[in-house]
Chains A and B, each alone.
Chain A
Amino acid sequence: MKMLRWYFVLMALFSNSALAQEMATITAGEYRPLYLSTDSPVVRVSSFLLDKKPVTNQAFQKFVAQHTKWQRDVAPILFVEKNYLSHWVKASSQFEPNATDVNKPVVFVSWYAAQAYCQAQQKRLPTVAEWEYVAQASSTQKNGSQEKGYNQKILDWYAKAAQQTLVEVGEEQPNYWGVHNMHGLIWEWTEDFNSSLISGESRDDSSVNKELYCASGSAGAVDPSDYAAFMRYGFRSSLNAKFTLGSLGFRCAQDVYH
């Protein structure tokens, strides 16, 4: 009986490893969110692991096959918009990605679906702070945001119209951490995507919110030239957890002492 149990554990490990994501170890550091003023405390990011690449259509298809609740025509409308996985095509019995899309990042997924995927791998979505901390690395430095051309490169991507066809994950040069595609491919879900700017409805009642708001003007920000990050904060706070967009995917994170 015990042997049998081990057999199943091993089987589970092997079947997952086929598509298991390689993760980069991100060592702890500090990060100063843009909406806080220059004299505000920095946010400390603990060490964590982050998927090196965004989750692909293929990996998500495998998840959906095992967790049928998340199939395109099954997922509760509480959790997904109508165009959830709308780029997938009807195969024999289920929807699946086009053969040309398997290694492209999965998009048209909601925050709920992304969270469920990560949980199924014993992972979680990265926080905004974790994501931004990794995103500010250039190919050679932990904090590349002061590097010449760094911001321009990101802004050039933001200036482009949303791409009709995405490219495969991992094609861009990795950053300092060995992480690919933080910029230039898709937008990504984060665990607390909607908490960077608390909505107006609560402004009257919470002193904390007021401070957030007062400091959110660009004049008091740490680096007003980092327009790209402002755009990300703006984009994130415009999202609703059930949104499914053609340019929005995700990757997973994990605690180091998992």
Chain B
Amino acid sequence: MKILIMLCVLGFSAQSFAEPVLPSDSVYQVGGVWKTQDDQPIKLESLAGKPQLIAFIFTGCSNACPVIVESMKRIERKIPLQKRKDIGFVLVTLTPELDSPKSLKAFAKKREISPSWQMLRGNSELVRTLSNTLNGRYKVIADDDVAHSNTVTLLNAEGQIEMQASGTLTGIKPIMDKIERKYAR
């Protein structure tokens, strides 16, 4: 019994220790338990601690998403190899019911996405909430097509929006320039 209490106390303090206080305007306030492409649960808050580049996609997407992904990959290539772990790349699926971990992985393979990128699935409420905090808009159309805005967002280490840009190859330039400047030194 004593051990149990000890464990509880330890567990509690460890938990309160591990959870940093997020700024009131941090996107990570959305919270919720998400799943990765490896079907592992992940807390949104765990993305805090380093800048993250985040965008919405769905694996059945043939127009906008490949361009968004390509834009993000171009940014990644601007970062020196040894620095790449200092910034995260996150893709959130807009069709979590359809995008199984398997199809997310297939998408990643097809688009030659680094395994270090995180692909997140949430329930539809969480996805809509996160999308709204990032000023995104989307509509699931019949036959599983989704009309969605193609915004790519750069979040700072605390999850506040640092910069947003269109995910087209030309539109992404402001974010690319910012990141290039940051790692140029």
A residues engaging B (CB < 8 A)?
41, 76-79, 111-112, 115, 119, 124, 191-192, 194-196, 198-199, 201-202, 204-209, 212, 240-241
Contacts and interface: CB of A to CB of B under 8 A. Distances in A.
Chain A interface SS verdict (over half): loop
22 contacts: A76-B24, A77-B25, A78-B30, A112-B132, A115-B125, A119-B125, A192-B128, A195-B138, A195-B139, A198-B138, A198-B149, A199-B149, A201-B149, A201-B150, A202-B137, A202-B149, A204-B168, A205-B67, A206-B64, A206-B147, A208-B139, A240-B132
Contact of A202 (B26, B30, B64): B64
Contacts of B145: 208
A202 B164 CA distance: 14
Contacts of A124: 125
A115 B129 contact: yes
A78 to B, nearest CB: 5
Given A192-B128, A192-B139, A205-B63, 9 more contacts: A78-B25, A78-B30, A195-B139, A198-B147, A202-B148, A206-B64, A206-B147, A208-B141, A240-B135
Chain B interface residue number, banded: 20 to 34
Interface of B: 24-27, 29-30, 63-64, 67, 125, 128-129, 132-133, 135, 137-139, 141-142, 145-151, 166-168
B125 A202 contact: no
A105 to B, nearest CB: 22
Contact of A195 (B67, B133, B135, B137): B137
Contacts of A198: 137-139, 147-149
Contacts of B139: 192, 195-196, 198, 208, 212
B149 A79 contact: no
Contacts of A241: 129, 132-133
A34 to B, nearest CB: 15
A209 B139 CA distance: 9
A209 B137 CA distance: 11
B166 A201 contact: yes
A77 B24 contact: yes
A194 B63 contact: no
Contacts of B149: 198-199, 201-202
A202 B149 CA distance: 5
B147 A78 contact: no
A79 B29 contact: yes
A195 B136 CA distance: 9
A41 B168 CA distance: 31
A206 B146 CA distance: 9
Contacts of A79: 29
A78 B29 contact: yes
Nearest to B67: A205
A191 B166 CA distance: 25
Given A77-B25, A78-B25, A206 B63 contact: yes
Contact of B129 (A41, A112, A202, A240): A112
A210 to B, nearest CB: 9
Most buried by B among A79, A198, A202: A202
A112 B128 CA distance: 10
Nearest to B142: A41
